[in-house]
Amino acid sequence: MLLEALDGEETVVLRAGAASVQVQVEPVGRWFEAYVRRRNRNASASFQELEEEEESSEESDDEEFQLQEYPVLRTLDPKDWKNQDHYAVLGLPHLRYKATQKQIKAAHKAIVLKHHPDKRKAAGEQIVEGDNDYFTCITKAIETLSDPVKRRAFDSVDPTFDNGVPSKSEGKENFFDGFAPVFERNARWSSKKHVPKLGTMESSFEEVDNFYSFWYNFDSWREFSYLDEEEKEKAECRDERRWIEKQNRASRAQRKKEEMNRIRTLVDTAYSCDPRIKKFKEEEKAKKESEKKAKAEAKRREQEERERARQAELEAARLAKEKEDEEAKQVAQQAKKEKEIQKKAIKKERQKLRTTCKNWNYFADNEAESVKMMEEVEKLCDRLELTSLQSLNEVLASGSKEDSKAAVEQQVREVNAQLQREKDAEVQARQAARSAEQASGGGGGGGKGWNEEDLQLLIKAVNLFPAGTNARWEVIANYMNLHSTSGMKRTAKDVINKAKNLQRLDPLQKDEINRKAFEKFKKEHSSVAPSIDNAVPSERFDASGSDGNAAPWTTEEQKLLEQALKTYPVSTPERWEKIAAAVPGRSKKDCMKRYKELVEMVKAKKAAQEQVAAKSKK
Amino acid sequence: MAAIGVHFGYTCACVAIFKDGRADVVANDAGDRVTPAVVGYRDTEQIVGIAAKQGRVRNAANTVVRVKQILGRRFNDPETQTHKGETKCQVVSRGEKPYYEITAGDHPEYVAPEDVAKLIFHKMKETAQSALGSDVSDVVITVPFEFAPNQKRALREAAEAAGFHVLRLIHEPAAALLAYNIGQDHTSGKSHVLVYKLGGTSLSVTVLQVNGGMFRVLSTHTDHGIGGESFTQALAQHLASEFKRTFKHDVSSNARAMLKLMNGADMAKHSLSSLGSANCFVDSLHDGIDFECNVSRARFELLCSSLLNKSIQPIQLLLEKAGLSASSINKVVLCGGSARIPRLQQIMREMFPDVELLSSAPPDEVIAVGAALEAGLLVGSDSFVLEEESVTVDVSAADILIKEVDESGAEVLTVLLPSGMPLPARRHHVLSGGGKQSSLCLDIYQRFVMEQPEQLSKIVFRDLQPSEADHNIDVVVTMKRDGSIHVSCVEQTTGKSEVVTITAAAAAAAAAAS
């Protein structure tokens, strides 16, 4: 609720208001945008006023422009409208393609006011009836220019446009004056705005590069539909329309191509004439050259450096080697000298020992002993080291005869013991070597031990399967594996090697083996016999005893046995008595035993053969 | 016209598109509306987003996080040194500038922070364009209020390198206000808004004055020490101690296990914003032992109580600095992912009991939405480029008041034109006087903050026809840019008018001199 005014009060301004202050605000929001837009337009009014103003400015923005009267307007033939300059008709020849849509509208309005047939009729002018009046030209002009597509088509073939391209010779003489206006002129066809300028001699490389890349990729909106010979709209049917369209398209494409060629020629000419390009090229070349030079220089320097380093290294290596050699030589000399000294010393000591010993008469009483002692002393001289010799000599020099003798004898004992040890060691080594040899040689391929039994078994097997048996060595190996007590598995190869080894052995050794085998056999089989055997080895002993004759079967006996076995078949009563009778010197038991052995042998033989056959089959 | 708004944060980036008058956040190819601002370098590729974040467990040395922290800073900047100490990726100096040393390939590579930001921007651009279906590149990017010009430039360059056309960089709190359409509907009135942003690694509180549709930052406070990651850290520590209690293994020294635990804690934290309790499950955390733990919301709040207090503290200080009280705040806007924490919202509500708490939009997306709205505004008004980084406007220095009487007959001052109005400004009021009176008097006062009002002018209407109805007077107050005031009053029934022009002090002095 407002206050009531007191008497005498009047509308008055008492004081000035506070000045505005400036503060920072966040650049966001629509109010901010509106504010900044206003400020940019330098307006200072309140919101509504400004918004209204904005509206009206659109209308009143039209700047004043003069219309230029077209002197031949009245004489134009409306039928020939296509070849007329529509801008000139509307009185805008000075603006042409730069005229805004608004200006064109305004110009049309003005010109219609002046040239409309009704107006002229009112002014008392003679009017040509129908379409033949020149006013039709104005209608056509506004028709063309108010439609953006049609206007562009007309602009494209603007009769006042100079399509000319400066020639090379012209360009060379005065490049910038010659080309700048041409490029500016053609820039109007660019679909992109902000066409780069040709620039001056001082333009940077980027500018020039940008300029040429723009013009080489020039995107022109110029098109040539205005020059179409036939009008599509005039066609009477679809086919005709299509045909016209095709014709037009072809001619337009042709013209467009020509236009692109024209631009291309222009840019090509400019590029070839451009003094700046030449300058850049030269600069580039110079730069490259200098870079190359610098590179070569750097390379050379590097090489030199490397060479020098290598030389230095070699020199150092050589020096080091020389020094080393020198040192080695000195060391060698030193060593030699020392050796010589030592040798001399030893010699001296030895001499001393000998003389001392001699002086003591070799601590011996008789001749023989002294000779022996002499030998021993000589041995000592040979064997003892310098130091021990020295100490010995000292003892000899200082001590009495007994002491000396004891010392010498002790030394002699020690030396002898040493010699003995060495000898033993040698013998042992030799033995070891021999045994190793035996082990490797005797074992054939695998170094498997062959004990007596195995050897025996091998000999037996070899005899059992004579040469010519099918897969003889496999069979033998199998036989061995079956019968060996040592449990070692032997291959055919092992067996062959051993057999060959045995063959190579001198007959003496073979005999030895056989004998050994026999002894063993005897040991095993006859617990009583040995004494008898040993006592009378030459006597034939009739084996009527419980044990029977353990002597091996001779071939003759064998034959007799076989004959007897055949003569008396299994069914014969008292068979074994009869067989024993047939074989002289053998008891019934012997024969049975022998038979069993034979049967076993045959069985084993068969089994071995079968196994090998099976293996080979596989 | 479509446009893009990008919020590029320390931990996460979010993109929104403005289309058909609406701004919406776009989900990325992984289906998330917020993309972690993490770039992982492998020997053949660079990965951006959630995959990089998860791959950090294995590839910590070649994964760049929080790149915004050193963007546009020099190597010897203390912030850069802090970042160097915190990140697991090597930071080296090359020509005074920080670079990341990436050792994914055969040779160590040096990557500028701008390049990392570029990759993230590229990802955001792809996300936006796949949603729009066209290659719109006009973008508005948000920056923190305290960003220095160098940092802004670096960010702008990174965005441009990614193929964006940057319309403008705007401040995050302003974007948040835009997203809630504060001060955009009508221009009258002056209000104060508090923008509380608790992001992944930073807390920023800003008080803005909204007047005449424009935002003005009164004071701001930023703390890089607290954020969502601090909460996750606290939770992860708790989980680690739980693990130690159960399995007698100390995982706190195992960097990879801790990273796994952090990821697990992060998920649990997110679900705790909506659920009363959450399960945290980490496969093969330590020595092949799987870890499972249930955390209740109360437990989480207990763990974070000191952190929460710490994140609330700056508000009071800030208000004092701005010379405002909690009651003079009209609106509170919550943004940043951690503003989702229910306890935090509750504390805020207790702090500002009569104030509208704006948290209806997802807080981590609000800023991107605001940026998109601004982008939509800018892309509509074509070819308008703001040259300078900061914009100053003329505003009125004092409240313009008129003296009236209320029903009880006491004199009151009514504000015709508040201080801080952007100029030029115009306000229209209809004042009424008693119908029985034959004369009316309009006393115009001006009042600076905390000062006695002083009278500027007196406008008197005489010879009014006393009637039953009240006399209505249209008062239009217009203030020009220099501060001069034009008051025109028209009595509605009789059409009588009075006009006064009060020149501004500076202008008056100039007039007197001439």
DSSP per-residue letters across B100-164: EEE-SSSS-EEE-HHHHHHHHHHHHHHHHHHHHSS---EEEEEE-TT--HHHHHHHHHHHHHTT-
Nearest CA in chain A to B377: A30
**B79-96: average pLDDT:** 86
Residue A607 has phi, psi (to 5 degrees) of -60, -45
Q: Which span out of A74-88, A372-386, B291-305, B452-466 was modeled with the highest average pLDDT?
A: B291-305
Q: Is the pLDDT of residue B90 over 60?
A: yes
Question: Which residue do the tokens 């496969």 mark?
Answer: B283
Q: Which of B458, B482, B500 is the mutation pick for testing A, counting most A CBs within 10 A?
A: B458
CB–CB contact A2 B502 (8 Å) = no
Q: Compare all CA atoms of chain A with the CA of B181 and give the residue at the minimum distance.
A: A29
Q: Which residues contact A158 (CB under 8 A, 6 or more apart)?
A: A96, A97
Give dist(CA B360, CA B366) in Å, integer.
9
Closest-approach residue (CA) in chain B for A11: B459
- The model's pLDDT over A554-588, given as tens digits with 9 standing for 90+, comes to 788 888 888 888 888 777 778 888 888 887 777 88
B173 vs A106: CA distance, rounded Å: 51
Q: Tell me the pTM.
A: 0.51
How many residues are given for chain B? Answer: 514
Least confident range of A168-182, A389-403, A418-432, B423-437: A389-403
Q: Any residues with CB less than 8 A from the CB of B233 and at least 6 apart, and which?
A: B262, B265
Q: To the nearest whole number, what is the mean pLDDT of chain B? A: 86
What dihedral do alpha carbons B95, B99, B104, B105 form, nearest 10°?
A: -30
3 state DSSP class of B438: coil
User: Are residues B502 and B446 in contact, defined by beta-carbon separation less than 8 angstroms?
Assistant: no
Query: pLDDT tens-digit profile of B227-253?
Result: 898 999 999 999 999 889 988 888 888
For chain A, what's the residue count?
618
Determine whether the interchain pair B214/A32 forms a contact, defined as Cβ–Cβ distance below 8 Å: yes
Residue B363 to residue B196: CA distance in whole angstroms: 10
Question: Count of A–B CB contacts within 8 Å?
Answer: 204
> A28 and B178 in contact by Cβ < 8 A?
yes
- Judge: B505–A29 Cβ closer than 8 Å, yes or no: no
Compute CA distances A388 → A349, A360, B108, whole Å. 10, 19, 72
Rounded to whole angstroms, what are the CA distances from A484 to A249, A489, A513, B446? 112, 9, 17, 134
Dihedral Cα A295, A299, A305, A310, nearest 10 deg: 170
Q: Flag if B457 and A13 touch (Cβ within 8 Å).
A: yes
CA distance A262 to A264: 5
- B36-49 pLDDT per residue, tens: 999 999 888 889 99
DSSP-based three-state secondary structure for A63: coil
Q: Residue A545's pLDDT is what?
A: 43
Angle (CA) A585-A591-A597 rounded to 5° is 130
> How far is the C-alpha of B336 from the C-alpha of B199, rounded, in Å?
4
Residue A190: band (very low, low, confident or very high) from pLDDT cuts 50, 70, 90: confident
Q: Is residue A52's pLDDT more than 60?
A: no
Distance from CA of A191 to the nearest CA of B (A): 19
Here the tokens at position B90 are 């090597």
- Judged by DSSP in three states, B433 sits in strand
**C-alpha distances in angstroms, A597 versus A35, A487, A558, A576, A606?**
134, 22, 12, 15, 14
Q: What is the mean pLDDT of residues A322-327?
A: 94
Chain B residue numbers with beta carbons less than 8 Å from the beta carbon of A1 are 404-407, 432-434
B4: Cα separation from own chain's centroid = 17
Q: What are B151-166's pLDDT values in tens digits?
A: 999 999 999 999 998 8
DSSP state of A97: G
How is domain B189-358 classified at the architecture level of CATH? Alpha-Beta Complex (3.90)
Beta pairing, strands B34-36 & B454-461: unpaired
Q: Are A36 and B390 in contact (CB under 8 A)?
A: no
Tokens, residue B409:
């007959």
Domain regions of chain B by residue span:
2-170, 189-358, 396-512
Identify the burial level of A421 via C-beta atoms within 10 angstroms of its C-beta, where 0-12 means exposed, 13-18 middle and 19 or more buried: exposed
More confident residue, A267 or A16: A267
ipTM for the predicted complex comes to 0.80
Kind plus residue range of the DSSP H or E element containing A560: helix A555-567
**B392 Cα to chain A: minimum distance (Å):** 4
B74's tokens: 């020099």
Between residues A167 and A66, which one has the greater pLDDT? Answer: A167
In tens, the pLDDT along A127-184 reads: 776 667 788 888 888 888 888 888 888 888 887 787 788 887 777 778 888 888 888 8
Contact at CB, A3 and B374, closer than 8 angstroms: no
Q: For residues B409 and A281, which has the higher predicted lDDT (pLDDT)?
A: A281
Mean pLDDT of A280-302: 94
Using DSSP bridges, classify how beta strands B97-102 and B90-94 pair: parallel, antiparallel or unpaired: antiparallel
Contact call for residues B259 and B57 (beta carbons, < 8 A)? yes
Cα Rg of chain B (Å, integer): 28
- Report residue A185's pLDDT band, with 50, 70 and 90 as the boundaries: confident
Q: What per-residue confidence (pLDDT) applies to B305?
A: 92
Closest CA to B390 of A36, A19, A21, A31: A36
Q: What whole-number percentage of chain A has pLDDT above 90?
A: 10
Contact B374 A13 (CB under 8 A): no
Quick one: average pLDDT of A319-338?
94
Place of tokens 């719109």: B136
Q: What number of other Cβ atoms are within 10 A of residue A606's Cβ?
A: 10
How far off is chain A from B239, nearest CA to CA, in Å? 44
Query: Is-contact B357 B348, C-beta < 8 A?
Result: yes
CA distance B292 to B242: 10
Compute the nearest-CA separation of A6 from chain B (Å). Answer: 8
Do the chains contact at B183 and A31, CB–CB below 8 Å? yes
Q: Residue B5: beta bridge partners?
A: B16, B140
pLDDT at A527: 52
Identify the bridge partners of residue B251 per DSSP, sorted by sequence position: none
Q: Which CATH superfamily is domain B2-170 in?
A: ATPase, nucleotide binding domain (3.30.420.40)
A48 touches chain B (CB under 8 A): yes
Tell me: the pLDDT tens digits for B183-203?
A: 877 666 788 999 999 988 889
Distances (CA, A) of A371 to A363, A366, A407: 11, 9, 18
Q: Three-state SS for B75?
A: coil
B139 close to B165: Cβ distance less than 8 angstroms:
yes
Residue B443 scores a pLDDT above 80: yes
Q: Does A614 touch chain B (CB under 8 A)?
A: no
pLDDT tens readout for residues B278-334: 988 888 888 888 888 899 999 999 999 999 999 899 998 898 888 888 888 889 999
Indicate if the pLDDT at residue B355 is higher than 90: no
DSSP state letters, A38-50: HHHTT--S-HHHH
- Section B450-461 average pLDDT: 81
Of residues A218 and A453, more confidence is placed in A218
Instruction: Quickly state the pLDDT bin for B116 (edges 50, 70, 90).
Output: very high
Q: How many other C-beta atoms can be found within 10 angstroms of the C-beta atom of residue B449?
A: 10
In this prediction, residues A363-374 reach a mean pLDDT of: 74
pLDDT at position A447 is 47
Poorest-confidence range of A560-569, B4-13, B26-35, B119-128?
A560-569
Distance from the Cα of B264 to chain A's closest Cα (Å) equals 39
**In the predicted structure, residue A394 carries a pLDDT above the cut 50:** yes
Phi, psi of B148 (to 5 degrees): -80, 160
Q: What gap in Å lies between CA B267 and CA B263, rounded to an integer? A: 6
Sign of CA dihedral B287, B293, B297, B298: negative
Note the pLDDT tens digit of each residue in B92-108.
888 888 999 888 878 88
Q: Does pLDDT of A211 surpass 60?
A: yes
Predicted local distance difference test score (pLDDT) of residue B509? 55
CATH superfamily of B396-512: Substrate Binding Domain Of DNAk; Chain A, domain 1 (2.60.34.10)
The beta-carbon neighbor of B439 closest among A5, A40, A46 is A5
What are the residues whose beta carbons fall under 8 Å from the beta carbon of B171, sequence distance 6 or more?
A26, A28, B142, B143, B144, B145, B217
B41 vs B61: CA distance, rounded Å: 9
Closest residue to B178, CB basis, from A25, A29, A39: A29
Phi-psi region of B291 (alpha: psi -120 to 50; beta: other; left: phi over 0): beta
pLDDT at A507: 64
Residue range A216-237, pLDDT digits in tens: 888 888 888 887 777 767 778 8
Q: What digits encode the pLDDT tens for the residues A513-533?
A: 677 777 776 776 655 444 444
